[in-house]
Structure formats: structure tokens, C-alpha cells
């Protein structure tokens, strides 16, 4: 098939307020060009069809969709991809891209932020490259980069460590490993947790890390209630800042 007739895969960022009680006005956090491109797509690959339809309704209010919402083709990534991730090469996403081989553009969207960054989607991007499709990332908010910028930590060398273990002993061991790496190399370590476990993670950080390690939290990025704080662990213990831990939060440690 002539590559010129193939569709493109657009990586469509989503606002960072998914699952939050309040939502930022979409036009305040998403570039107009991204909304315009998203509005004309009729094929989608996503984590959750329900939340994707809700996002498309928000887009439709600003940039009318090219086709009725109920007529759009929306395919979900398998559940196991959500739980185990899809960066290991074990999931074949090529069947999801059949529409692009027929000449139609496809949008890939995650629950929040940029697809395939701290979210599923890398298997779809890999498959698109393997099929000779053009991959086009669109501009939008990414909580990891916003948090890193707000942290005052090393932005020249950093790593995203994903989720830390849930059990207290394993979590503390992993935090000590990340702290050792950050202090020895100067590389900022970023990680996240589901909001209902944020308080337990912060408590573990304050109990586990050395007093001179710098800890930064960024909560609810792009929301009106966004909050960022960066200080040495000893100062966190002394000042006891009240972070809004019910919001999606990015944690970072460094020196």
C-alpha cells in the first residue's frame, strides 16, 4: 500500500483534571490547535471509552466535532495493558490501527496528560511505526514536566520511577534506593501514586528519607487549586505544610 494514503496516529493530550471534583476550563489548559485537530478525528484508541466520550463532549463545546459523538469509532486498550503496562513489547496493538491503513487518521488518548508518558499507549505508538504510519504528538499539559519545573531540582538529569510498592517495608526500601541514586548522581527521581495512597506515601517519605534530602510535591497541576512545595525533609517535618493530597500528585526527590 502506498504510504501516502495511510492515516496518521495523533497523540492527543488530555487535561490533568480527570477524576477531580473540579475541572479547569478546557481552553485555559489545551492549545487551540490541539483541540481543532482532535475535533476532526473520527477514530480513537483510549484507556476508557466513557471518559473519552466525556472529553470529546468538552472539545465539542469549543470546537464542534466533525461527526456526531455516537458515530465515532472508539476502541479501548485491553484491561491487562492498564494494569501491567504495555512498554515491554508483549501486546500487539497493530489490529487497533486498521483504520489508519485504510487512510483514516486515529487519535490516541489516555486518562490524563500525554499518552504513553506515565500511561498506556507505547504499544500503539510502536505498532504505528512498524506499520509505516506517521506519529504526530500534539501539544498539551504533562504533569511530570510541570512538577519538575516547579521543584527546583535538577532538570538536566532526571528519571521517572513510576509507582513505588504499596507495602510499607518494600516501599521504604524502594524510597531508600531512589534517594541513594538521587544523592550520589544528582539525578532527580520522580514518581507518582494513586490519590487515595498519597498520604501514606508522604508519611513514608518523611519517615524514610534523610533530613537533607530535598522533597518536592506538586498537586493538581493546571487546576485553580494547584499546589507546589519544595524543601528539605527536615523542613517538611518542622513546618508541616498541608498538601492537598486528594489531588493527583507528582513526588520528586533530589539534592
Q: Are 107 and 12 in contact (CB under 8 A)?
A: yes
| Averaged confidence pLDDT in the chain | 94
The pTM (predicted TM-score) of the whole model is 0.91
Laid out side by side, the sheet with 106-108 consists of 73-76, 43-46, 106-108, 8-11, 134-137
Q: Are 191 and 164 in contact (CB under 8 A)?
A: yes
- Residue 231 burial class via C-beta count within 10 angstroms: exposed 0-12, middle 13-18, buried 19 and up: middle
Q: Are 10 and 120 in contact (CB under 8 A)?
A: no
Q: Are 140 and 116 in contact (CB under 8 A)?
A: no
3-state secondary structure of 173: helix
Task: Give tens-digit pLDDT for 4-41.
Answer: 689 999 999 999 998 788 888 999 999 999 999 999 99
Q: For domain 3-137, which architecture applies?
A: 3-Layer(aba) Sandwich (3.40)
Phi-psi region of 238 (alpha: psi -120 to 50; beta: other; left: phi over 0): alpha
Which helix H or strand E contains 227, and what residues bound it?
strand 227-232
Indicate if the pLDDT at residue 163 is higher than 70: yes
Beta bridge partners of 136: 10
Q: How many C-beta atoms surround the C-beta of residue 27 within 10 A?
A: 13
Indicate if the pLDDT at residue 3 is higher than 60: no
CATH of domain 143-254: 3.30.950.10
pLDDT of residue 1: 44
Phi-psi region of 68 (alpha: psi -120 to 50; beta: other; left: phi over 0): beta
Indicate if the pLDDT at residue 81 is higher than 50: yes
Task: Give tens-digit pLDDT for 119-160.
Answer: 889 999 999 999 999 999 999 999 999 999 999 999 999 999
How far apart (Å, rounded) are the C-alpha atoms in residues 94 and 117?
Answer: 20
Q: What is the pLDDT confidence band of residue 79, given thresholds at 50, 70 and 90? A: confident
Q: What is the pLDDT confidence band of residue 83, given thresholds at 50, 70 and 90? A: low
pLDDT of residue 19: 79
Which helix H or strand E contains 44, and what residues bound it?
strand 43-46
Task: Give tens-digit pLDDT for 44-77.
Answer: 999 999 999 999 999 999 999 999 999 999 999 9
DSSP string, 146-159: HHHHHH-S-SSSEE
Rounded CA Rg of the chain: 20
Indicate if the pLDDT at residue 217 is higher than 80: yes
pLDDT of residue 89: 65
Q: What is the pLDDT confidence band of residue 238, given thresholds at 50, 70 and 90? A: very high
Instruction: Please report how many Cα atoms fall inside a 13 Å half-sphere around the Cα of residue 97, on the Cβ side.
Output: 25
Domain locations in the chain as residue ranges? 3-137, 143-254
Task: Give tens-digit pLDDT for 188-215.
Answer: 999 999 999 999 999 999 999 999 999 9
pLDDT of residue 200: 97
Amino acid at each position: 500500500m502506498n504510504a501516502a494514503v495511510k492515516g496518521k496516529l495523533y497523540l492527543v493530550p488530555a487535561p490533568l483534571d480527570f477524576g477531580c471534583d473540579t475541572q479547569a476550563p478546557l481552553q485555559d489548559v489545551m492549545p487551540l490547535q490541539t483541540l481543532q485537530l482532535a475535533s476532526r478525528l473520527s477514530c480513537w484508541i483510549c484507556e476508557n471509552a466513557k471518559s473519552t466520550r466525556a472529553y470529546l463532549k468538552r472539545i465539542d463545546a469549543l470546537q464542534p466535532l466533525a461527526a456526531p459523538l455516537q458515530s465515532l469509532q472508539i476502541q479501548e486498550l485491553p484491561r491487562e495493558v492498564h494494569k501491567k503496562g504495555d512498554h515491554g513489547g508483549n501486546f500487539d496493538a497493530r489490529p487497533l490501527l486498521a483504520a489508519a491503513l485504510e487512510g483514516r487518521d486515529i487519535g490516541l488518548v489516555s486518562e490524563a496528560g500525554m499518552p504513553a508518558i506515565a500511561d498506556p499507549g507505547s504499544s500503539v505508538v510502536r505498532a504505528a511505526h512498524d506499520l509505516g504510519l506517521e506519529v504526530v504528538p500534539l501539544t498539551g499539559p504533562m504533569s511530570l514536566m510541570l512538577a519538575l519545573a516547579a521543584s527546583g531540582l535538577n532538570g538536566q538529569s532526571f528519571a521517572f520511577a513510576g509507582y513505588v510498592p504499596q507495602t510499607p517495608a518494600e516501599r521504604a526500601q524502594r524510597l531508600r534506593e531512589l534517594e541513594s541514586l538521587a544523592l550520589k548522581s544528582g539525578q532527580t527521581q520522580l514518581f507518582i501514586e494513586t490519590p487515595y495512597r498519597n498520604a501514606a506515601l508522604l508519611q513514608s517519605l518523611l519517615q524514610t528519607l534523610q533530613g537533607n534530602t530535598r522533597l518536592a510535591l506538586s498537586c493538581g497541576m493546571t487546576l485553580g487549586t494547584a499546589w507546589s512545595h519544595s524543601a528539605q525533609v527536615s523542613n517538611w517535618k518542622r513546618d508541616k505544610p498541608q498538601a492537598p493530597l486528594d489531588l493527583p500528585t507528582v513526588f520528586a526527590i533530589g539534592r
